[in-house]
Amino acid sequence: MKISKTNIDGCFELTPRVFEDERGYFFESFNQSVFELETGAKPFFVQDNQSYSRRGVLRGLHFQKGAFAQAKLVRVLEGEVLDVAVDLRSNSATYGNIVRSVLSAENKKQLYVPRGCAHGFVTLSKTALFFYKCDNFYNHESEGGILYNDPALDIDWIIDANELLISEKDKVLPTMEEYGLTLNQE
C-alpha cells in the first residue's frame, strides 16, 4: 500500500496494491501496522458507516467536536465521489488547508481524515456507495459543520451548483466566520 501525505498535517491518501487476474481482484484495504509505521497515527476504529447517494448529492462539511471528535478512513465501494477535508485545528500548521481527492471503486483510493477536520463529499457518478470507519462514536450534541460553499474556503466541488442536492440542514450550516474561525490568507 502506498500512503501519501497531503497538504493537511495528519491527513493521508492511501492507494492499495491491487492483485488482478481472470478471477477478479484482491487488495488489502487497511493494515494497522503498516499505517502506524508510515503515518505515526494510531487510530482504533470503533464505528463503520455507509451511505448511498445519487449524482450531485453533497454531504458536508461535517465534524464532531470535543471529546467526540472523530478521525475517519473513507472510501468508495461503488461509483465515484470528490472527497473534501478542511483543517479546522487552529493550532495546526496547516490550519485552513483543503484536501480534495477523487475516490472511486475503480481507483480504490482512501483518505484518512484526522480529528479536527471538517469532511464532506459530492457524488460524481450516477450513484455511489460510500463507506467509512471512525475512531470515535457519533454524538448528536457534538456535531458541527461548515457551509459547503463558504466563500472563504472557495471549494470547487466539480458539479455545477444547480445540480447539487443538499440537505436542508447542510444548507444552513455556518460559514467559517460565523462559526468563529478565520483563515490566515496572506
Q: Which residues are catalytic?
A: 62, 132
> What per-residue confidence (pLDDT) applies to 185?
46
pLDDT tens per residue across span 83-132:
999 999 989 999 999 999 999 999 999 999 999 999 999 999 999 999 99
Q: What mean pLDDT do residues 151-179 have?
A: 95
**Rounded percentage of the chain residues whose pLDDT exceeds 70:** 97
What are the sequence ranges of the domains in the chain? Answer: 44-179
pLDDT tens per residue across span 150-162:
999 999 999 999 9
pLDDT tens per residue across span 130-150:
999 999 999 999 999 999 999
Q: How confident is the model at residue 29 (pLDDT cuts 50, 70, 90)?
A: very high
CB within 8 A of 4, min separation 6: which ones? 12, 13, 14, 15
Say whether 131 sits in a helix, a strand or coil. strand
Q: How confident is the model at residue 178 (pLDDT cuts 50, 70, 90)?
A: confident
44-179, superfamily in CATH?
Jelly Rolls (2.60.120.10)
> What per-residue confidence (pLDDT) applies to 43?
96
> What per-residue confidence (pLDDT) applies to 182?
67
DSSP string, 47-113: EEEEEEEETTEEEEEEEE-GGG---EEEEEEESEEEEEEEE--TTSTTTT-EEEEEEETTT--EEEE
